Structure 1
Amino acid sequence: MTDERWTNDFLDAMREQCDPPADEAVRSLFSQGLVNSANELMKQLVASEQVHAEQLPAPLRGYFQQSARLPSWADKELIREGQAVFSRCGPLSVVALVCAALPTCYAGAQGVQVLHLPARLQTDTRRRIVETAQMVVDVMGPGGLEEDAWGIRDAQKVRLMHAAVRHLIRQSGRWNPAWGQPINQEDMAGTLVTFSVVTIRALSKMGYTLSAREAQAYYHAWRVVGYIMGVDERLLPEDFEDGERLTDRIFGRVFRASDEGKAMTRALVELLEHIVPGDLFDGMCATLIRHLVGDSTADLIAVPPSDWTRHLVKPLKLLGWVMDESDEQSAVSAKLAELFGRKLLEGIVWVSRGNERPPFRIPAELGESWNVRSREQQL
Structure 2
Amino acid sequence: MTDMRWTNEFLDSMREQSDAPADEAVRSLFAQGLVGSANELMKQLVAKESVSVEQLPAPLRGYFEQSARMPSWADPELIREGQAVFSRCGSLSVVALVCASLPTCYAGAEGVQVLHLTARLQTDTKRRIVETAQMVVDVMSPGGLEPDGWGIRDAQKVRLMHAAVRYLIHQSGHWNPKWGQPINQEDMAGTLVTFSVVTIRALAKLGYTLSEREAQAYYHAWRVVGYIMGVDERLLPEKYEDGALLADTIFKRVFCASPEGQAMTRALIELMEHIIPGNVFDGLSRTLIRHLVGDSTAELIAVPPSDWTKSLVKPLQLLGWVMDEGDEQNVVNAKLSELFGRKLLEGIVWVSRGHERPPFRIPEELRQSWNVRGREQQL
Deviations 1:78-115 (A, max 9, x none): 00000000000121111111100000000001000001
Where do 1:179-190 residues align within 5 Å? Answer: 179-190=179-190
- Aligned pairs for 1:1-379 (under 5 A) are 1-36=1-36, 45-47=45-47, 49-376=49-376
Deviations 1:33-91 (A, max 9, x none): 00159987865653454442122111101110110011000000000000000000121
Q: How far has the Cα of 1:375 moved from its partner?
A: 1.7
SS in 2 for 1:104: helix
- For residues 255 and 264 of structure 1, do their structure 2 counterparts lie closer, same or farther at Cα, with a shift above 3 Å needed? same
Deviations 1:178-224 (A, max 9, x none): 00000000000000000000000000000000000000000000000
> When the two structures are superposed, what TM-score results if normalisation uses the length of structure 2?
0.97
CA RMSD of aligned residues (A): 1.5
Alpha-carbon separation, structure 2, partners of 1:109 and 1:84? 34
User: Which stretch of the first structure deviates more once superposed, 118-127 or 338-347?
Assistant: 118-127
Deviation of 1:310 after TM superposition, in Å, equals 1.5
Matched letter for residue 208 of structure 1: Y
Q: How many angstroms apart in 1 are the aligned matches of 2:105 and 2:51?
A: 28
Q: Is the 8 A contact 1:111 1:183 kept in 2?
A: yes
| In 1, Cα distance between equivalents of 2:205 and 2:50 | 36
Task: Classify the secondary structure of the residue corresponding to 1:117.
Answer: helix
* Partners of 2:38 and 2:243 in 1: CA distance: 33
Q: Which runs of 5+ in 2 are unaligned?
A: none
Contact (CA 8 Å) 1:51, 1:153: kept in 2 or not? no
Query: What is the Cα deviation at residue 259 of structure 1?
Result: 0.9
Q: Could you tell me how far 1:124 is from its partner in structure 2? A: 1.2
Q: Deviations over 1:323-356 (max 9, x none)?
A: 1110000000000000011001100000001121
Where 2:190 maps in the other structure, the secondary structure is helix
CA distance change for structure 1 residues 165 and 376 in 2, over 3 Å: closer, same or farther?
same
Q: Determine if contact 1:41/1:164 at 8 Å carries over to the other structure.
A: no
How high is the sequence identity, in percent, across the aligned residues? 84
What's the CA shift for 1:123?
2.8
Contact 1:25 1:60 in 2 (8 A): yes
Cα distance change of structure 1 residues 42 and 149 upon mapping to structure 2, 3 Å threshold: closer
Asked whether the 8 Å contact 2:115–2:121 carries over to 1, the reply is: no
When normalised by structure 1's length, the TM-score is: 0.97
Q: 1:130 to 1:50 in 2, by over 3 A?
A: farther
Give, in whole Å, the separation in 2 of the partners of 1:259 and 1:40: 35
CA distance in 2, matches of 1:78, 1:130: 27
Q: Matches of 1:199 and 1:184 in 2, distance apart?
A: 22
Q: Return the letter of the residue paired with 2:211.
A: S
